[in-house]
């Protein structure tokens, strides 16, 4: 079946501009996660959505970052007033159910963001 998809695959933007990154989770997956991965580094948790519950935003690095998930499916990560340190690969993952039983996370291909 279809996996997690993300768009765009690459985004180059000028410092100070806003960007929107999109994630389409696997159909039926109620949990959705956003991570950031800088070059050669590990996975930095950003935000977690579980069903209709309030998202866990504890990983967002600043108030320039926000995310929403509409209709329990597609999610958009927005970065306002981008800075050079925002340059990274942004990965989205989904799992069948974040609260019980099926915890395997499946990742999308990522969006490579470059802020010039």
Partner 1 sequence: GENVEQHPSTLSVQEGDSAVIKCTYSDSASNYFPWYKQELGKRPQLIIDIRSNVGEKKDQRIAVTLNKTAKHFSLHITETQPEDSAVYFCAARDSNYQLIWGAGTKLIIKP
Residues of this chain that bind partner 1 (CB under 8 A): 31, 33, 41-43, 45, 48, 50, 56, 91, 98-99, 103-110
68/14 Cα distance (integer angstroms) = 23
Q: Cβ distance 25 to 73 under 8 Å?
A: yes
Q: Cβ distance 116 to 15 under 8 Å?
A: yes
- Residue 63 or 104: the one with the smaller Cβ distance to partner 1 is 104
- Residue 80 or 87: the one with the smaller Cβ distance to partner 1 is 87
- Residue 73 or 105: the one with the smaller Cβ distance to partner 1 is 105
CB of 68 to partner 1, least distance (A): 19
CB of 14 to partner 1, least distance (A): 25
């Amino acid at each position: 079946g279809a996996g997690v998809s993300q768009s765009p695959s690459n985004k180059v933007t000028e410092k100070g501009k806003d960007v929107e990154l999109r994630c389409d989770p696997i159909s039926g997956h109620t949990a959705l996660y956003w991570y950031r991965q800088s070059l050669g580094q590990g996975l930095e948790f950003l935000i977690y959505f579980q069903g209709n519950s309030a998202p866990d935003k504890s990983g967002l690095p600043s108030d320039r970052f926000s995310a929403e998930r509409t209709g329990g499916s597609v999610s958009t990560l927005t970065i306002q007033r981008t800075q050079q340190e925002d340059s990274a690969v942004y990965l989205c993952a989904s799992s069948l159910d974040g609260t019980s039983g099926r915890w395997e996370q499946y990742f999308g291909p990522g969006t490579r963001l470059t802020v010039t």
